[in-house]
């Protein structure tokens, strides 16, 4: 599979990339605090990957859930600049989920998860929220 993303920036610091029919703006200077920076977008992709797999494996592992929420913390090194660690917690509201099995599947089959674990340390856990 191949993916195509197009992005632009102008001399007024307006930066945007297009994914399918969606325009996603991002910050490129410190004053643009209301916009996500590229690292936050990367961490958002990680969060989306994990949550997508909650949905995917709810079908495969045959469990129901009301909702799932993820909190992600990225640790950025300054020199040289790079992401060095990701820590996350996924909260799932469910009565019949095998958290250990779901977590193993998220770790094994997440595209973004697998890409980032080659470049930085990833730690995380799943927590059950009772219905």
pLDDT tens sequence across 31-41? 999 999 999 99
13: pLDDT strictly greater than 80: yes
- Mean pLDDT value of segment 73-85: 97
Average pLDDT, integer, range 118-130? 95
Whether residue 130 is predicted with pLDDT greater than 80 in this model: the reply is: no
Q: Is the pLDDT of residue 104 over 90?
A: yes
Task: Provide the whole-model pTM.
Answer: 0.93
What's the pLDDT score for residue 131?
65
With a cut of 80, say whether residue 66 has pLDDT above it.
Answer: yes
Domains and CATH numbers, the chain: 1-35 (no CATH), 38-129 (3.30.300.20)
What average pLDDT does the segment 83-99 reach? 96
Query: CA neighbours within 13 Å on the CB side: how many for 57?
Result: 23
Instruction: Kindly report the average pLDDT of the chain as a whole number.
Output: 96
Assess whether pLDDT exceeds 90 at residue 56: yes
Catalogue the long-range contacts made by 103-106 (C-beta closer than 8 Å, 24 or more residues apart): 105/53, 105/57, 105/60, 105/61, 106/50, 106/53, 106/54, 106/57
């Amino acid at each position: 599979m191949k993916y195509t993303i197009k992005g632009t920036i102008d001399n007024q610091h307006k930066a945007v990339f297009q994914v399918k029919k969606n325009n996603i703006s991002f910050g490129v200077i410190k004053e643009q605090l209301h916009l996500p920076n590229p690292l936050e977008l990367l961490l958002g992709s990680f969060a989306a990957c994990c949550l997508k797999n909650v949905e995917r494996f709810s079908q495969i592992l045959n469990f129901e859930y009301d909702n799932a929420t993820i909190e992600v913390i990225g640790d950025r090194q300054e020199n040289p600049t790079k992401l060095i660690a990701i820590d996350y917690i996924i909260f799932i509201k469910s009565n019949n989920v095998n958290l250990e099995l779901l977590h193993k599947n998220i770790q094994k089959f997440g595209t973004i998860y697998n890409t980032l674990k080659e470049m930085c340390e990833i730690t995380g856990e799943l927590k059950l929220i009772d219905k």
